């Protein structure tokens, strides 16, 4: 049995959960990022409840996580049972472990005094029914690094945030990182399905010889021969990336949902031993997998999902002896689209209604913001410039600057807001519309400013005017 000492932020998390219950909350969520130590928080809460003769249920979101969680309970000296068919640990001990899938099939639900839901962002109809109806008088504690699921606020009633990713890095509980981002990736024409890119269309974009070759070539120059996890779009893509690594003399393995358990176990064993250098997968290791010695991440796929992005990046941020930092090789422009892992994350639960930002984006799509003509800077809303007749050239093929990923510099939200204020000042001083400033901002940071209303224009610094001058020169020469 292990002994442990809670860190200050873990003690604070437990205190805040107890305070939530005292304030009348019934279903609080603890937002615990990678490296927070949510396992120890759970263990401590469970031990405290058992000491008061309470019955506790711990729910995982996949049957495959039952044995892994059971081993954790054993390690910490927690006798428990497992609610799962003919599992050898079926018993009536006060602490029980179950998967959502198993509970959904049970008509007769056992009695408990406290229920803890791991990875609670993975909602489903059965679990929602349990929380809101079958067990609507019982206290629930949700655990998640990414509680951003739409409608989660209708199920859980409080969000507890104790530490940010940046603060955990500053305190040495997470590894710092350097990030490199793709210079070019054309996703024009790719549809959005359920909030993320259409997987079939994305696979067609990234599963090409040019793009895959760029992934391998970049790793050879930037990856420093580190233990590497690579996230791909689908099985064919993951196999192609692994094959390209192997053909370049870098041992690579591939794991997907169809990989047999024995083969998966052997691949993971070889990877942890260093016999496999690059581990390609398709969303298999977004959660429930810890490998502190993994210090390089390849994002070989783009995503619109902040939740998936944070989960993927979290795989390389754990600390380990001799691990100075993590390297992120982003071939999908995810960082430019979703921000750095250290950026501020939402600190509210979505109740299913559109946020102000979503409403603003919807309004922008309806109104079609004017865009500067790359030839004469005339603000236009049509494809062809009505002033000079310039028509942008089409770019139907996916291309990547072969072997070139640029190092991405971290910019805080406050710094971005300052930039937009000065870009507004520049635009207005030149008699241009505010939309011009928004597009300059996008040229600088890869996305439109999140907040446009109420921003006060400021006089631009030499850095800002220099950026605009350089951008205009580049565009006048036909650059993109």
pLDDT band at residue 374 using 50, 70 and 90 as cut-offs: low
The domain boundary residue, chosen from 338, 357, 375: 338
What is the spatial distance between Cα 162 and Cα 432, in angstroms, rounded to a whole number? Answer: 44
Give whole-number Cα distances, 90 to 47, 75, 109, 315, in Å: 20, 19, 15, 32
What is the spatial distance between Cα 447 and Cα 452, in angstroms, rounded to a whole number? Answer: 13
Same domain, yes or no, for 142 and 205? no
Report the pLDDT value the prediction gives residue 370, as an integer from 0 to 100.
54
Same domain, yes or no, for 158 and 221? no
Same domain, yes or no, for 296 and 418? no
Let me know if residue 213 belongs to a domain: yes
Query: Highest mean pLDDT range out of 87-96, 187-196, 383-392?
Result: 87-96
The stretch 309-331 carries a mean pLDDT of 94
Instruction: Find out whether 347 and 161 touch, Cβ atoms under 8 Å.
Output: yes
- Tokens representing residue 383 in the block: 């494809």
Same domain, yes or no, for 216 and 158? no
Report the pLDDT value the prediction gives residue 366, as an integer from 0 to 100.
47
**Nearby residues of 234 by Cβ (< 8 Å), 6 or more positions away:** 199, 203, 207, 282
Q: What is the largest CA-CA distance in the chain?
A: 79
- Full domain range(s) for residue 18: 8-163
pLDDT band at residue 363 using 50, 70 and 90 as cut-offs: low
DSSP states of 198-246 as a string? Answer: -HHHHHHHHSSHHHHHHHHHHHHHHSTT--EEEE-SSHHHHHHHHHHHH
Exposure string of 111-123, with b = 16+ CB inside 10 Å and e = fewer, is ebebbbbbbbbbb
Backbone angles phi, psi at 81, to 5 degrees: -115, 165
With 0-12 CB in 10 A as exposed, 13-18 as middle and 19+ as buried, what is 311?
buried
Report the pLDDT value the prediction gives residue 478, as an integer from 0 to 100.
59
How many CB atoms within 10 Å of residue 285? Answer: 20
Report the pLDDT value the prediction gives residue 394, as an integer from 0 to 100.
36
Same domain, yes or no, for 213 and 295? yes
Residues forming a β-bridge with 126: none
What is the spatial distance between Cα 252 and Cα 424, in angstroms, rounded to a whole number? Answer: 49
pLDDT per position as a tens digit, 256-276:
989 998 999 999 999 999 999
The stretch 62-82 carries a mean pLDDT of 91
Residues forming a β-bridge with 328: 179, 297
Residues forming a β-bridge with 143: 30, 118
Let me know if residue 343 belongs to a domain: no
What is the spatial distance between Cα 227 and Cα 233, in angstroms, rounded to a whole number? Answer: 20
Read off the pTM.
0.75
Same domain, yes or no, for 315 and 420? no
Same domain, yes or no, for 96 and 15? yes
Number of domains in the chain: 3
Q: Note the Cα 345 to chain centre separation in Å.
A: 10
The stretch 173-193 carries a mean pLDDT of 83
Is pLDDT above 60 for 400?
Answer: no
The stretch 295-301 carries a mean pLDDT of 95
pLDDT per position as a tens digit, 108-156:
778 899 999 999 998 888 889 989 998 999 999 999 999 998 899 999 9
How many CB atoms within 10 Å of residue 375? Answer: 16
The stretch 330-337 carries a mean pLDDT of 88
Let me know if residue 2 belongs to a domain: no
Same domain, yes or no, for 134 and 197? no
DSSP states of 447-475 as a string? Answer: S--S--TTPPP----HHHHHHHHHHHHHH
* Residue that is written with structure tokens 């890869």 in the block: 446
Is pLDDT above 80 for 479?
Answer: no
Q: Is the dihedral of CA 467, 468, 470, 474 positive or negative?
A: positive
Cα Rg of the chain (Å, integer): 25
The stretch 171-178 carries a mean pLDDT of 93
Let me know if residue 319 belongs to a domain: yes
The stretch 463-470 carries a mean pLDDT of 88
What rounded mean pLDDT belongs to the chain?
A: 85
Is pLDDT above 60 for 82?
Answer: yes
The stretch 405-409 carries a mean pLDDT of 76
**Nearby residues of 431 by Cβ (< 8 Å), 6 or more positions away:** none
**Nearby residues of 220 by Cβ (< 8 Å), 6 or more positions away:** 248, 250
Query: Highest mean pLDDT range out of 79-88, 101-110, 360-369, 467-476?
Result: 79-88
DSSP states of 422-444 as a string? Answer: HHHHHHHHTT--HHHHHHHHHHH
Same domain, yes or no, for 134 and 194? no
Is pLDDT above 70 for 436?
Answer: yes
Is pLDDT above 90 for 227?
Answer: yes
Q: Is the dihedral of CA 369, 194, 233, 278 positive or negative?
A: positive
Query: Highest mean pLDDT range out of 153-157, 289-293, 355-359, 365-369?
Result: 153-157
Q: Is 174 helix (H, G, I), strand (E, B) or coil?
A: strand
Is pLDDT above 50 for 365?
Answer: no
Give the closest residue to 145 by CA, choosing from 307, 327, 351, 324. 307
Is pLDDT above 50 for 396?
Answer: no
Is pLDDT above 90 for 6?
Answer: yes
Vertex 223, ends 33 and 284: CA angle to 5°? Answer: 45
Same domain, yes or no, for 151 and 216? no
pLDDT band at residue 86 using 50, 70 and 90 as cut-offs: confident
Exposure string of 28-59, with b = 16+ CB inside 10 Å and e = fewer, is bbbbbbbbbbbbbbbbbbbeebbeeeebbbbb
Let me know if residue 224 belongs to a domain: yes
Let me know if residue 428 belongs to a domain: yes
The CATH number of residue 289's host domain is: 3.40.50.300
The domain boundary residue, chosen from 307, 338, 369: 338
Same domain, yes or no, for 198 and 155? no
Length of the chain in residues, anyone?
480
The domain boundary residue, chosen from 338, 363, 398: 338
Let me know if residue 362 belongs to a domain: no
Task: Report H helices in 320-377.
Answer: 334-338, 356-367
Is pLDDT above 90 for 2?
Answer: no
Let me know if residue 36 belongs to a domain: yes
Same domain, yes or no, for 158 and 198? no
Looking only at the bridges linking them, the beta strands covering 405-407 and 177-182 are: antiparallel
Give the closest residue to 144 by CA, choosing from 133, 155, 130, 136. 155
């Amino acid at each position: 049995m292990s002994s442990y000492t809670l860190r200050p932020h873990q003690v604070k998390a437990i205190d805040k959960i107890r305070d939530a219950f005292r304030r009348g909350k019934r279903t609080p969520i603890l937002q615990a990022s990678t490296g927070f130590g949510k396992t120890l928080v759970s263990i401590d809460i469970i031990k405290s409840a058992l000491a008061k003769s309470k019955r506790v249920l711990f729910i995982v979101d996949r049957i495959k996580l039952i044995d892994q969680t059971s081993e954790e309970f054993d390690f910490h000296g927690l006798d428990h049972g497992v609610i799962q068919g003919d599992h050898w640990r079926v018993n009536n001990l006060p602490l029980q472990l179950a998967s959502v899938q198993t509970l959904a099939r049970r008509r007769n639900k056992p009695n408990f005094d406290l229920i803890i839901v791991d990875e609670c962002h993975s909602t489903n109809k059965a679990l929602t029914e349990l929380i809101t109806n079958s067990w609507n008088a019982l206290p629930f504690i949700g655990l998640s690094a990414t509680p951003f699921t739409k409608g989660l606020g209708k199920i859980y009633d409080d969000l507890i945030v104790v530490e940010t990713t940046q603060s955990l890095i500053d305190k040495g509980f997470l590894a710092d990182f350097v990030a490199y981002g793709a210079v070019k990736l054309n996703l024009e024409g790719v549809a959005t399905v359920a909030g993320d890119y259409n997987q079939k269309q994305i696979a067609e974009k990234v599963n090409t010889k040019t793009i895959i070759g760029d992934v391998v070539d970049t790793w050879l120059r930037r990856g420093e021969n580190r233990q590497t996890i690579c996230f791909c779009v689908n099985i064919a893509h993951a196999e192609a990336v692994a094959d390209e690594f192997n053909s370049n003399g870098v041992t690579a393995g591939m794991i997907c949902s169809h990989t047999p358990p024995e083969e998966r176990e052997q691949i993971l064993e070889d990877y942890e031993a260093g016999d496999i250098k690059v581990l390609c997968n398709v969303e298999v290791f977004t959660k429930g997998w810890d490998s502190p010695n993994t210090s390089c991440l390849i994002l070989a796929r783009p995503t619109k999902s902040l939740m998936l992005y944070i989960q993927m990046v979290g795989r390389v941020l754990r600390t380990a002896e001799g691990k100075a930092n993590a390297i992120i090789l982003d071939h999908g422009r995810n960082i430019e689209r979703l921000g750095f892992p250290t950026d501020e994350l939402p600190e509210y639960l979505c109740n299913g209604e559109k946020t102000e930002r979503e409403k603003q984006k919807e309004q922008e799509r309806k109104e079609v913001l004017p865009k500067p003509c790359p030839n004469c800077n005339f603000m236009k809303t049509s494809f062809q410039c009505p002033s000079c007749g310039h028509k942008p050239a089409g770019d139907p093929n996916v291309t990547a600057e072969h072997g070139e990923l640029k190092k991405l510099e971290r910019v805080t939200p406050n710094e971005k807001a300052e930039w937009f204020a000065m870009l507004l000042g520049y635009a207005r001083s030149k008699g241009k519309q505010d939309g011009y400033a928004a597009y300059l901002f996008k040229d600088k940071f890869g996305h439109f400013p999140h907040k446009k209303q109420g921003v006060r224009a400021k006089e631009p610094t030499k850095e800002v005017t220099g950026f605009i001058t350089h951008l205009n020169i580049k565009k006048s020469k036909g650059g993109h």
